[in-house]
Copies of this chain bind each other. A is one copy, B any other.
Amino acid sequence: MQSVNLKRLAEELHLSIATVSRALQDSHEVSPATKERVRALATALDYQPNAYASSLRRNQSKTIGVVIPKVTNHFFALAINGIEEAARQAGFHVLIYLTHEEYEREVSIIQHLKGGRVDGILMSVASGTENTEHLRSLRIPVVFFDRICPDISTANVTTNDYESGYQATAHLIEAGCRTIAHLLLSSSLSIGRNRQQGYLDALVAHGLTPSPGLTLPGTPANDGPAGQVGRIRELLQRRPDIDGIFASVERLAVSAYHVCRELGRRIPEDVKIVGFSNLESVSLFDPPLTTITQPAYDIGREAAKILLRAVEKKRPILPTQSVVLASELVQRRSTMP
**B residues within 8 A CB of A49?**
115
Which residues of A235-293 are within 8 A (CB) of B? Answer: 254, 257-258, 279-288
Q: Which of B51, B61, B72, B316 contacts A74 (CB 8 A)?
A: B72
Closest Cβ neighbor of A317 among chain B residues = B1
**B residues within 8 A CB of A258?**
283-284
A280 in contact with B96 given A54-B115, A116-B50 (CB within 8 Å): no
Q: Which of B46, B52, B279, B288 contacts A56 (CB 8 A)?
A: B52
A95 in contact with B98 given A51-B117, A56-B53, A285-B286 (CB within 8 Å): no
A139 interface contact, C-beta 8 A: yes
**B residues within 8 A CB of A96?**
71, 95-96, 98
**B residues within 8 A CB of A322?**
none
Q: Give CA–CA (A80, B137) in the complex, Å.
A: 30
Q: Which of B46, B93, B280, B286 contacts A137 (CB 8 A)?
A: B46
Q: Which of B1, B114, B225 contacts A280 (CB 8 A)?
A: B225
Q: Which of B3, B115, B285 contacts A48 (CB 8 A)?
A: B115
Chain A, 285-311, contact with B by CB distance < 8 Å: what is the 0/1 string? 111100000000000000000000000
Most chain B CB within a 10 A radius of its CB, from A52, A100, A288? A52
Q: Give CA–CA (A77, B100) in the complex, Å.
A: 12
Which residues of A103-136 are within 8 A (CB) of B? Answer: 109, 111-112, 114-117
Indicate if the CB atoms of B115 and A1 lie closer than 8 Å: no
**B residues within 8 A CB of A51?**
52, 112, 115-117
Q: Give CA–CA (A96, B284) in the complex, Å.
A: 30
**B residues within 8 A CB of A23?**
none
A98 to chain B, nearest CB (A): 6
A84 to chain B, nearest CB (A): 6
8 new A-B contacts at CB < 8 Å, known A50-B115, A77-B77: A51-B117, A52-B55, A71-B80, A81-B98, A84-B100, A95-B97, A257-B281, A286-B287
